[in-house]
Chain A
Amino acid sequence: QVQLQESGPGLVKPSETLSLTCTVSGGSISSFYWSWIRQSPGKGLEWIGYIHNSGITNYNPSLKSRVTISIDTSKNQFSLKLTSVTAADTAVYYCARRAGYYDSNGYHGDLFDPWGQGTLVTVSS
């Protein structure tokens, strides 16, 4: 079955760029949408954005000016870059596969499955 694994620095300095990679194993990265989701300590889940291997992206409006999600189909990986980080960006970052839910009337929703285990990124000097 498909498995996802996040990797990247666990500590980033304020004002610098957070960079994470998600490696997909057990299946091809093509033909699906791939997403980043984060969770600040003790808080709820926040959707960051997603990408399709065609290059289509969709970002959370609150983060859009600082976020770039890219994909490397040759490595079966996709990546997150978040610029100008502050302490508020300290969180566990998850990668997940996003799929659409369709019924006889067409598209009617989204789902995230599976998820990576998550990686904690702390923003601190």
Chain B
Amino acid sequence: SSDLTQDPAVSVALGQTIRITCQGDSLTTYYASWYQQKPGQAPVLVNYGKNNRPSGIPDRFSGSRSGNTASLIITGAQAEDEAEYYCNSRDTSGNHLVFGGGTKLTVL
């Protein structure tokens, strides 16, 4: 079983809000970081910690955590948000890092 579990695929209508989730026991202790990856490109950090965005990331990307589930929320999804999204945090032991399996976001 995976330490961090993500839905393989989700879709959202243009301009609507989507929540991409990441589940794992370690998330009750550690925050997740979130990465956007478009085809043929390296991943890009879009949110981390309690809810922090690197410079240049639109404020429609926000993060939250409840219990063992971390969420990346895209408010008012744009066509350019269509991508694969990965969460990252510690494994169940807390000693190593691990990525979730990724969620493919389709913007309709």
User: Across the interface, do A46 and B99 meet the contact criterion of CB distance under 8 Å?
Assistant: yes
Closest chain-A Cβ to B97's Cβ sits at a distance in Å of 4
Residues 64-108 of chain B: 1 if any A CB is under 8 Å from the residue's CB, otherwise 0? 000000000000000000000010111000011111111000000
Chain B residues near A59 (CB-CB < 8 A): 96
Let me know if B61 is at the binding interface, CB within 8 A. Answer: no
Let me know if B38 is at the binding interface, CB within 8 A. Answer: no
Chain A residues near B29 (CB-CB < 8 A): 108
Size category of the binding interface on chain B:
20 to 34
Chain A residues near B99 (CB-CB < 8 A): 37, 44-47
Closest chain-B Cβ to A54's Cβ sits at a distance in Å of 18
A110-B33, A111-B48 given; A116·B42 CB < 8 A: yes
Chain B residues near A35 (CB-CB < 8 A): 97
User: Across the interface, do B102 and A45 meet the contact criterion of CB distance under 8 Å?
Assistant: yes
Chain B residues near A98 (CB-CB < 8 A): 97
Chain B residues near A46 (CB-CB < 8 A): 99
Closest chain-B Cβ to A80's Cβ sits at a distance in Å of 15
**A103 to B49 CA separation, bound complex (whole angstroms):** 9
Chain B residues near A73 (CB-CB < 8 A): none
**A117 to B102 CA separation, bound complex (whole angstroms):** 19
Residues 40-81 of chain A: 1 if any B CB is under 8 Å from the residue's CB, otherwise 0? 000011110010000000111100000000000000000000
**A39 to B97 CA separation, bound complex (whole angstroms):** 15
User: Across the interface, do B86 and A117 meet the contact criterion of CB distance under 8 Å?
Assistant: no
Residues 24-58 of chain B: 1 if any A CB is under 8 Å from the residue's CB, otherwise 0? 00000111110101000011110011101010000
Closest chain-A Cβ to B29's Cβ sits at a distance in Å of 8
Q: A110 contacts which of B43, B52, B90, B100 (Cβ < 8 Å)?
A: B90
Residues 85-113 of chain A: 1 if any B CB is under 8 Å from the residue's CB, otherwise 0? 00000000010001001010000111111
